[in-house]
Chains A and B, each alone.
Chain A
């Protein structure tokens, strides 16, 4: 890694540590009661409480986030590809999808629970719904952004549609796919938590509601940290994939 990259990482880590330190100091100096805001250390110690069943809740939320997200990526990219292959399909379905996109997805969650009953699979569907559109729309845009002269070049060689798709359109759309995927990471975590909030029997979001009743703020804060951690892991995975598959210059920032 270059010196500049190390510098960036060092700065980022330092700022994060500073943030935790300020939080800690603020709680102590301001004499903030535990049930309002615990110190970072106090939140961390709740991990040692066996009754909290952390592993179970963490696993449930992780499944929902990753499951819904991966499903949204696969289905979103597939739909976008179908739309570029069939103009009729695009003309028929795109306006409907744009309308559906206007529905606040969070408001759909109670309906999904009515339809599918609560559980991990329902929260996966909710996560999917919320992540699907940005991935679809970004991919569709990427597939359309082809230099017309590049198409001329391929057509002058009597290249077929499949060649245009595999050699030019799809690799050209890759940066846009990742751009949509990055937007969707934040939504994925929110989707899973919303599902758990509305009705569930496990997961970090559900756990937060339960601990809230007992005003165990330290456990709530820890749950929030873990949810964030899942989001960061997802985002990190997407960035790693992008680095592996997209040439530096082609990345959409």
Chain B
């Protein structure tokens, strides 16, 4: 089920970060948001990024999204076989669904397609298909306020997929949901990931969530903000809630707790 061809045929990874550094400057001082991070992500991989507040995980997503330039090191996305268009190949999901209140769900999903000027009719059909896929079939004409928080976040995921991007950046997408909805959304995300074959970077501060979802977990620490360890996760191919009682699941989470000085 998990297409983990960790490297493309010619040996290139889809995302390659080497000693990436990011500094925010105000007039009087500098703040090092990321001291150093190096990771390689294969196409189609779901990588979790976990760490405390201020470890630079959200900054990393902004750098990858091309919103903020990095100040050192090397960022490469895409490979010769898998070229990457920075305008078209990024989908973003945030902690808040950020749906436009005045648009119906389908119109919300279509926002990126409109911005990119994609053909209307095909996009509409794709929006309908995506809403089916995220389990919102029948809610195309609803307004956001008519949906629960979990459902709104599903719509936000459909919106991130509408322009068929290669990379999905998720910044604590389930952080505002209640615990049970969050569990359900984790399973949903895995299903959507398998179906859509996207590369996903998933920022969270839930350690269990990070291990449960990721084929790799990037553990980041704050002060200085940098990568502590890039852990490859070997857990059963089909991840369901049984995985959480798996012996290895416990040892992975313990290892991350230790890295983050939580014992």
Residues of A within 8 A of B (CB): 147, 149-150, 152-159, 163, 167-168, 171-172, 174, 246-250
Contacts and interface: CB of A to CB of B under 8 A. Distances in A.
Given A158-B87, A168-B100, A153 B92 contact: yes
Nearest to B90: A156
Nearest to A152: B67
Interface string B121-144: 000000000000000000000011
B114 interface: yes
B96 A157 contact: no
Is chain A's binding surface mostly helix, strand, loop or mixed?
helix
A14 to B, nearest CB: 32
Contacts of B66: 156
23 contacts: A147-B98, A149-B96, A149-B98, A150-B98, A153-B92, A153-B98, A153-B112, A154-B115, A156-B67, A157-B88, A157-B90, A157-B112, A157-B163, A158-B86, A163-B114, A167-B100, A167-B111, A167-B114, A172-B102, A247-B101, A247-B145, A249-B101, A249-B144
Contact of A247 (B102, B111, B114): B102
Contacts of B102: 171-172, 174, 246-247, 250
Contacts, number: 58
B62 interface: yes
Nearest to A147: B98
B65 interface: yes
Nearest to A155: B67
Contact of A249 (B86, B116, B145): B145
A214 to B, nearest CB: 54
B193 interface: no
A222 B158 CA distance: 60
Nearest to A156: B65
Interface string B65-84: 11100000000000000000
Interface of B: 62, 65-67, 86-88, 90, 92, 94, 96, 98, 100-102, 111-112, 114-116, 143-145, 163
Contact of A152 (B92, B114, B163): B92
Contacts of B116: 157
Given A167-B114, A167-B115, A247-B143, A156 B100 contact: no
Given A156-B66, A158-B86, A250 B96 contact: no
Nearest to A160: B115
Contacts of A167: 100, 111, 114-115
B205 to A, nearest CB: 17
Nearest to B66: A156
A205 B26 CA distance: 58
A24 B100 CA distance: 51
Contact of B115 (A159, A172, A249, A250): A159
A156 B66 CA distance: 7
A157 B67 CA distance: 10
